[in-house]
Amino acid sequence: MNSDLKFTSEIKNKTEKLYKKIEGTIPKIEWPTVAPYIYEINKLKKEKGVTILAHNYQTPEIYYGVADIVGDSLGLAIDGDKVKTDKILMCGVHFMAETAKIMSPEKKILLPDFSAGCSLAESITADDVRKLKKDNPGIPVVTYVNTSADVKAETDICCTSANAVKIIESLNVDKVIFLPDEYLAKYVASKTSVKIISWNGKCEVHEQFTDKEIIELRKKYPNLKVVSHPECPPDVIKASDYTGSTGSMINYVKNTNAKDIFLVTECSMSDNIQIENPNINFVKPCNLCPHMKKITLQGILKSLKEENNYIEIDKKIIQRARGAIERMIAVGR
């Protein structure tokens, strides 16, 4: 951490309430190096008129410390469009910043680290989609939001993990091309009679979970509730009590009486939900997304100061990609 930033008594007082909230996730000895960044970022974002968006997989010091809006990637892009500031800083990965730019083309979208990618988004290119369309003429293309702007532009309609089944069924067709997540495609296929042509993309975080670890954990915690994300492999979904998007996982936790919960998703989400639900024991075999973790307080402060790393997308691509998202929104989030 930058030695220029001092943990002054003013910063200590102004960040005390926040520390009390997130103290379970940051050792006390580290707070004097973390708090000055949070203080500086919050001061600078106000001075420069920047709204900070943070994905559910960001660490608690970002999620609770500096973000103005938190949520899933699509929610952030849609909410980002409603904010009054001309600049947005995305604490998330590259495709999320691109999606925010698609929804708010007139705004400057900052991304602290352009190397924050995503194994799913990088599994497919616009050329791949064009070839799939050529090989399957007339079959509509439904694309998960975890894709690049170029891929969205080749798409008939976007979807999220929450609305994928609804979107597919809204098309009134027998068959769709569903991209790029193979496991999400399998999950969706189990919920609809529409035939799915899938791609072989995978989330490198969710694919690591196994049903074996769930079976072992259930021995240790007999009343354990297992809540998985549909990007997980089918055996994990089968071994779960509930499967849903990050938003529905959060709602599940809010409405359950369970004492022990295993959220089968990126680890920081459990940390963030734990803070709001201190009486629940979140069992955590921890899988972190290496791309999400490239976003740090130091990187956010640098990005705010320099404003160098901002998203640029060709206007025509924005227009076509936005069409795919708007068609999805018209069906329902």
**Residues interacting with ligand SF4, by CB under 6 A?**
93, 118-120, 146, 203-205, 266, 289, 291-292
- Residue 155: phi, psi to the nearest 5? -105, 145
Nearer to ligand SF4, 93 or 141 (CB): 93
Nearer to ligand SF4, 39 or 178 (CB): 178
User: Which residues, 6 or more positions from 75, have their beta carbon under 8 angstroms from its beta carbon?
Assistant: 247, 333
CA torsion 96-97-102-104 (nearest 10°) is 120
Nearest distance, CB of residue 268 and ligand SF4, angstroms = 10
The separation between CA 297 and the C-alpha centre of its own chain, rounded to angstroms, equals 18
Q: Which of 182, 192, 163, 181 is nearest to 325 (CA)?
A: 163
In the complex, the smallest distance separating the C-beta of residue 258 from ligand SF4, rounded to whole angstroms, is 24
In the bound complex, what is the minimum distance in angstroms from residue 181's beta carbon to ligand SF4?
8
31 versus 95: smaller Cβ distance to ligand SF4: 95
For residue 101, give every residue at least 6 positions away whose Cβ sits within 8 Å of its Cβ, in sequence order, or none: 107, 109, 149, 311, 312, 313, 318
**Contact between 185 and 148 (Cβ < 8 Å):** no
**Nearer to ligand SF4 (CB atom), residue 77 or residue 205:** 205
Residue in this structure with the two tokens 């369309």, named with its chain if needed: 133
Q: Which residue, 39 or 95, has its beta carbon nearer to ligand SF4?
A: 95
> In terms of C-beta density within 10 A (0-12 exposed, 13-18 middle, 19 or more buried), how is residue 212 classed?
exposed
Distance of closest approach, residue 97 Cβ to ligand SF4, in angstroms? 12
Q: Say how far apart CA 189 and CA 331 lie, in whole Å.
A: 19
CB 324 within 8 A of CB 146: no
Query: Which lies closer to ligand SF4 via its Cβ, residue 26 or residue 145?
Result: 145
- Residues contacting residue 120 through CB under 8 Å, at least 6 positions apart: 144, 146, 147, 180, 181, 201, 202, 203, 231
Q: How far is the CB of 93 from ligand SF4 (least distance, A)?
A: 5
Q: Provide the minimum distance between the beta carbon of 118 and ligand SF4 in the complex, in angstroms, as a whole number.
A: 3
Min CB(95)–ligand SF4 separation in Å:
8
Decide whether 118 or 168 has the Cβ nearer to ligand SF4: 118
